[in-house]
Structure 1
Amino acid sequence: MMERVYNPVFVKELKLRFRSFKSFSGLMFYLAVLCVFIVGFLLVTTEFTGRGFFKPDISFIMFAVLSIVQMALVLFITPSLTAGAISSERERQTLPILLTTTQSSTQIIIGKLLSSVAFLVLMLIAGLPLYSLVFLFGGVAPSQVVSIFLFYLVTVLAIGSIGVMFSTITKRTIVAMIATYGSIIFLGGITAFFFFLTIAFHGMTAAVGNSWMSYFWAAINPGALMLTLISPEMGEGLTEVSGVSLPVWVTYLIVYSLIIVFSLTIAIRKLRANMKNNR
């Protein structure tokens, strides 16, 4: 049983990543950005005197902005960790050696993905003590923090899978990284533009019924889902605007699960595309 679960590629990549000084310097930079934001927010709120009151509603604002900043940092870092998973092996000319081992294509791709996701999960866990300040001042429920971190995990897996896919089908790491960042721009920016465009079109035509397209564009947008998780009133407002009562997180989970499966399937099939015997 242990032989089936054990993944040598995952173990090797995990050891190399966590022994690298670059990884821990990136973690230090990530925490430093969050610390600077929190300290600056507290100083501005207390008017730089340290004697001002910090009300629960202000604590909620800090939690919302901190979650958005953390999401932006995670989306910015993820392509740099996953877009070179296979292409870097090809550039170092070590990919043929890796393919001649007894490891299957699935083990190689999953091992590369999980090693990158493990480091990103470490970053999220390292930021938990900073979130504890929110509970110190009140205004935020623990369930909101749990839902936010589950949202991070699903998003990281999806973006990481896209990065590994582009890293497999392209020959250069820089090309895979650009394509992955382009996917993030589409999911985060273009979908928001289409959402407002469909809402405006639906209003101008005075159409009767549900605006399914506006709901769909909002449901696959990471920022829109985060807003509904932070503030349930946002979800109710989206329901009123689109006329669709299905929770946004359900559609988000379905779509991003399909993205993960599709991206990993393409990566696994294309890894040995030029070999006679695919594994």
Structure 2
Amino acid sequence: MYLFENPVLQRELLVNLRTKRAFVLLAVYQLLLATVVVAAWPNDQRLDLTTNPPSATKLVNLFFLGQYVIASLMAPSFAAGTIAGEKERRTYEMLLASPMRPGAIVLGKIVASLTHIGMLIIGSLPIIVLCLPLGGVSVYEVLAAYLGLIISVVLFGAIGVLCSSYFPRTSSALVVSYLAILPLVIGACVFWASLATEGDLRLKLSVIVLPAFGLAAVLLMGANAAGRMLYPPDVGSEGKEVIDLERETNEAVGLVIQPDQFPDRLFAPPRKDEMMADGANPVYDKELHSEIFSQGTLMLRLVIQISILLAIPMMGVFLFFQQQHAPWFAVYVIVFNMLVGPSFLAGSITSERERQTLDLLLTTPLSPMQILWGKFVVRFRISLVLTSFLLWPLVLGAGLNTHFWSNWPSVLGMFLIVGMVCLVNCVIALACSLFSSKTSIALLTTYAVLLLLYVVPPALSTLARTLEMSPETVVMADWTGVASPFSALFSLPLNEQIAPENPEVNVGNVPAVLGYFAFSTLLLAAATAAMFLRLKIRQGLSEG
């Protein structure tokens, strides 16, 4: 019953692999990898295959790094909804009452969620086989890389399933999964790139150390998730967990959120003990006091603790020891907001549809602007406060490190870029929620749009320079960076006190920074207008 006769596994495989999304995703995945190979294919007319051509080695490294990043982004999206999805579909109670062992349920969920990604990884083998005749890497290194990739995906899937067992919503489980996986992905990429010239050492670590670590971690997380299903918490009607906020606060390990104290009350308001004032926005009041915190504070506590834990070493490295790389700390803050901010806004409208209360909301005398404003302000406030916690290290670094004193305009530019990112992320998430039918679809759509806007332009620029393309192509790739805050951050000028050995950083590219703010302003105006028209027309919004 654990594997071959597992009804959970059979059902999940039939449902997941027969959807149109499975075929579309496989095609897109192959196209992305093929595009990377074609773009990085060596331009040398003659290669000496008796040695290791650097162009061929660079091609293989780009292929594996690209595949690793794509797979690590996809694994949590499949696994984070395995158990939380049962709670959202109100079938979790039936699953607990089934005669299946909890270990069999967890194993079936993990295998089913990762089977599709396994097919994608196996499907990429013909592409890498085309690269082997070029040299630069041995067959054993390729096999070790695929072994490390598969183990990493299984590990990330187990993290997603573990988070899914603790949270009642897929969005919360997905955000915590990404935050837990983020340092692992960064460490793996640094490991692969730093040991590029040490093929034997990289091979041994990938074959011996990584499998042992991954297997132990997967077993521990699987046992924890199975134990939680064996002794589940109190379950109310329709399989929803009954959460006592006072008991959760008393039993919390580490950070404790106290709504009656500052700064906790900024994002976790105290319990309401008075009537709503006349003329107040009921949507705002409802979102602030019941919607956000009705499922407990576990997600907020984990988000704050994990983010601060990662921010402390980054502050020491990028703001004191290697201040010429100071924009990388702002990159971390933006990545944090990309993961956390949309999780609050992506369910703002779709949750009404899922609870079948959207028709009631649309028939109220509230104007579209009141509905959007009430939904947006509360959730944007939480996202902004959580992100501002990570900006304090930047304030401390700029204040204590005298090298930043003469670069205060660039430091101010970092704060402005982070603020614009918070606003853009939340508006895009709200728009995706308005145009989607489910919260999970809205959240994944938001992530896809943000990756397209933020990551693709600097990736194109870096690829054009790495492959030594024509100057015209490099300039065109650089101008796509007006959509990306990452490109804007690295376009801020820094004087010789911070970057004495890099004259390009000293000059910067102020027009690119201004172009980013102009593009973001137009994007905000277009998204707001589209949402307003959607709510005003109200066609296709009814859940009926």
DSSP-derived class of the 2:100 partner: coil
Assess if the C-alpha contact under 8 Å between 2:72 and 2:185 holds in 1. Answer: no
Conserved? CA contact 2:81–2:170, under 8 Å: yes
Please name the residue that 2:220 is paired with.
262
Residues 190-235 of structure 1 show CA distances to partners (whole Å, capped at 9, x for unaligned) of: xxxxxxxxxxxxxxxxxxxxxxxxxxxxxxx322443477542594
More helix by share: 1
Percent sequence identity is: 22
User: Matched residue of 2:116: which SS?
Assistant: helix
Q: Which residue of 1 aligns with 2:16?
A: 17
Deviation at 1:250, TM superposition (A): 3.6
- Residue aligning to 1:213: none
Asked whether the 8 Å contact 1:165–1:267 carries over to 2, the reply is: yes
Instruction: Say which of 140, 159, 162 aligns to 2:159.
Output: 162
- Between the aligned partners of 2:168 and 2:195, the Cα distance in structure 1 is 39
Deviation digits for residues 115-141 of structure 1 (CA, Å, limit 9, x no counterpart): 122111100111011101112323321
**Alignment partner of 1:171: what SS?**
coil
**Shift in Å, 1:84:** 0.5
* Aligned residue in 2 for 1:223: 189
Mark the CA change 1:157 to 1:79 in structure 2 (over 3 Å): closer, same or farther: same
Question: Is the alpha carbon distance of 1:258 and 1:3 closer, same or farther for their aligned partners in structure 2, counting shifts above 3 Å?
Answer: closer
Inter-CA distance 228–144: structure 2 relative to 1 (3 Å threshold):
farther
Shift of 1:20: 0.8
Match of 2:92 in 1: 95
SS state at 1:269 partner = helix
Residue pair 1:228, 1:234 contacting (<8 A) in 2 also: no
Deviates more, 1:77-86 or 1:252-261: 252-261
Deviations 1:136-155 (A, max 9, x none): 32332111111111101111
Out of 242, 245, 253, which is 2:211 matched to? 253
**Distance in structure 2 (CA, Å) of the matches to 1:14 and 1:93:** 20
AA partner of residue 15 (structure 1):
L
Shift of 1:255: 2.6
8 Å contact kept, 2:76–2:160: yes
- The CA deviation string for residues 161-215 of structure 1, in whole angstroms up to 9 with x for no partner, is 01000000111100100011001112233xxxxxxxxxxxxxxxxxxxxxxxxxx
- What is residue 32 of structure 2 aligned with on the other side? 33
**Contact 2:3-2:107 at 8 Å conserved across structures:** no
Q: Does 1:111 align with 2:108?
A: yes
**Amino acid in structure 2 at the alignment position of 1:274:** P
Q: Give the 5 Å matches for 1:68-147.
A: 68-147=65-144
Which residue, out of 220, 230, 233, partners 1:274?
233
Query: Amino acid of the residue matched to residue 67 of structure 1?
Result: F
Q: CA deviation at 1:257?
A: 2.3
Distance 2:85 2:171 in 1: 10
AA partner of residue 115 (structure 2) = A
Please give the secondary structure, in 2, of the residue aligned with 1:102: coil
1:203 corresponds to which residue? none
SS of the residue corresponding to residue 233 of structure 2 reads coil
Structure 1, unpaired ranges of 5+: 190-220, 237-245
Q: Distance in 2 between matches of 1:248 and 1:111?
A: 27
The aligned residue for residue 232 of structure 1 is 198
Aligned length: 229
Q: What letter is aligned with 2:105?
A: I
Matches of 1:41 and 1:233, distance apart in 2:
21
1:77–1:275 Cα change, 3 Å: same
Using CA pairs below 8 Å that are at least 6 residues apart, which structure has the higher relative contact order?
1
CA RMSD of aligned residues (A): 2.5
Contact kept? 1:88, 1:172, Cα under 8 Å: yes
* Cα distance in 2, alignment partners of residues 265 and 82 from structure 1: 16
Structure 2: any 5+ residue segments left out of the alignment? 236-544
Cα distance, 1:230–1:107 mapped onto 2, change above 3 Å = farther
How far apart in 2 are the matches of 1:111 and 1:4?
Answer: 7
SS of equivalent to 1:101: coil
Distance 1:139 1:269, change over 3 A: same
User: What SS does structure 2 have at the residue aligned with 1:52?
Assistant: coil
- Alignment-derived partner of residue 181 in structure 1: 178
**Which secondary structure does the structure 1 equivalent of 2:152 belong to?**
helix
How far is the alpha carbon of 1:252 from its aligned partner?
3.0
Q: Please report how far the alpha carbon of residue 66 of structure 1 lies from its aligned counterpart in structure 2 after TM superposition.
A: 0.4
Q: Distance in 1 between matches of 2:145 and 2:209?
A: 16
TM-score under structure 1 normalisation?
Answer: 0.74
1:200 corresponding residue in structure 2? none
The structure that has the greater radius of gyration is 2
CA 1:247/1:171 → structure 2, altered by over 3 Å: closer, same or farther?
A: same
C-alpha contact 1:148 1:229 (8 A) present in aligned 2: no
CA distance in 2, matches of 1:257, 1:250: 11
Q: 1:83 to 1:55 in 2, by over 3 A?
A: farther
Task: Find the aligned partners of 1:248 and 1:20 in 2 and give their Cα distance.
Answer: 34
> For each residue in 1:60-116, what CA deviation from the matched residue of structure 2 results, as whole angstroms up to 9, or x when unmatched?
211111000000000010010000010011101011222222211111110010012
18-27 or 227-236, larger mean C-alpha shift: 227-236
The letter of the residue matching 1:8 is: P
One-letter amino acid of the structure 1 residue matched with residue 188 of structure 2: P
| CA–CA separation in structure 1 for the residues paired with 2:195 and 2:150 | 14
User: 1:251–1:145: structure 2 CA closer, same or farther, 3 Å change rule?
Assistant: closer
The answer on whether the counterparts of 2:145 and 2:206 sit within 8 Å (CA) in structure 1 is no
The answer to whether the Cα contact below 8 Å between 2:83 and 2:165 also exists between their aligned partners in 1 is yes
